[in-house]
């Protein structure tokens, strides 16, 4: 379908505006339903458009089939043009993005006022808790796999918990307790560990002594050889 932009320079601006509105509806409605509404709205507008051309109702009746053929042909030409464009540029237009991480139920429960998650099993997924505020939460005895990067975890208890491979990079762990916890593979790079306790925590066979802290410049404490 050829468009003379000299005669209609805002053609694609208007088309893009319709597409943006359709995309906004897709945020809370299925694409199929949005598509059906969009086609119906277009058909309704074109019926009104055809009525404005007609001298009277008899003229509109006489031109009905001609009008249908015109719009069907125009739509088919536009659809074929855009299908061919997507076929020719499929890899560019349909780049697969990483799916968003699911919202952690931990955040929802914390926001509702819950603070005790003791002995819970949160190993079903990698919980995205980066940047979260979970001060005073109790994860003692839990199994948890989580991204805690930059999180505020002041006074949080991970006593006897399994936090293997969790990422605490840059987290605020002031006065947090990891006593007796399994911290194999956990990262503490740049974390604030003021007042934190790791007494009895285990990492690759190493048992932490009182006042001993993990290496915050590496992936974890390496056992003594």
Helix (H) or strand (E) holding 88: helix 64-88
Shared-domain flag, residues 151 and 57: no
CB 187 within 8 A of CB 169: yes
Which pLDDT value is given to residue 133?
Answer: 97
Which pLDDT value is given to residue 100?
Answer: 59
Domain carrying residue 59: 11-93
How far apart (Å, rounded) are the C-alpha atoms in residues 110 and 84?
50
Shared-domain flag, residues 118 and 216: yes
User: Tokens for 44?
Assistant: 């309704």
Which pLDDT value is given to residue 102?
Answer: 58
120-155 pLDDT per residue, tens: 998 778 899 999 999 999 999 999 999 999 999 999
Which pLDDT value is given to residue 124?
Answer: 73
Parts of the chain with a pLDDT under 50: 217-225
The residue from 58, 93, 128 where one domain ends is: 93
CB 173 within 8 A of CB 195: no
Shared-domain flag, residues 130 and 72: no
CB 192 within 8 A of CB 214: no
Shared-domain flag, residues 42 and 122: no
Which pLDDT value is given to residue 119?
Answer: 93
Shared-domain flag, residues 68 and 116: no
Which pLDDT value is given to residue 139?
Answer: 97
3-state DSSP assignment of residue 18: helix
Shared-domain flag, residues 146 and 89: no
Shared-domain flag, residues 141 and 44: no
How far apart (Å, rounded) are the C-alpha atoms in residues 184 and 164?
5
Shared-domain flag, residues 119 and 213: yes
Which pLDDT value is given to residue 225?
Answer: 34
Residue with tokens 């003692």: 140
User: Tokens for 196?
Assistant: 């934190």
How far apart (Å, rounded) are the C-alpha atoms in residues 73 and 93?
26
């Amino acid at each position: 379908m050829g468009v003379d932009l000299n005669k209609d320079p805002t053609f694609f601006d208007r088309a893009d505006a319709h597409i943006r509105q359709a995309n906004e509806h897709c945020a809370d409605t299925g694409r199929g339903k949005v598509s059906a509404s969009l086609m119906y709205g277009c058909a309704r507008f074109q019926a009104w458009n055809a009525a404005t051309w007609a001298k009277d109702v008899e003229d509109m009746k006489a031109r009905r089939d001609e009008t249908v053929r015109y719009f069907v042909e125009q739509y088919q030409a536009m659809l074929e043009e855009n299908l061919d464009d997507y076929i020719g540029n499929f890899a560019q237009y349909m780049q697969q993005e990483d799916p968003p991480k699911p919202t952690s139920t931990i955040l929802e429960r914390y926001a509702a006022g819950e603070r005790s998650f003791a002995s819970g099993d949160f190993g079903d997924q990698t919980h995205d808790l980066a940047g979260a505020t979970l001060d005073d939460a109790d994860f003692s005895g839990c199994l948890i796999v989580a991204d805690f990067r930059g999180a505020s975890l002041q006074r949080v208890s991970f006593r006897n918990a399994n936090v293997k491979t969790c990422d605490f990079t840059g987290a605020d762990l002031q006065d947090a307790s990891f006593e007796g916890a399994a911290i194999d593979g956990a990262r503490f790079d740049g974390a604030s560990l003021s007042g934190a306790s790791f007494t009895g925590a285990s990492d690759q066979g190493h048992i932490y002594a009182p006042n001993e802290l993990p290496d915050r410049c590496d992936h974890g404490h390496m056992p003594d050889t």
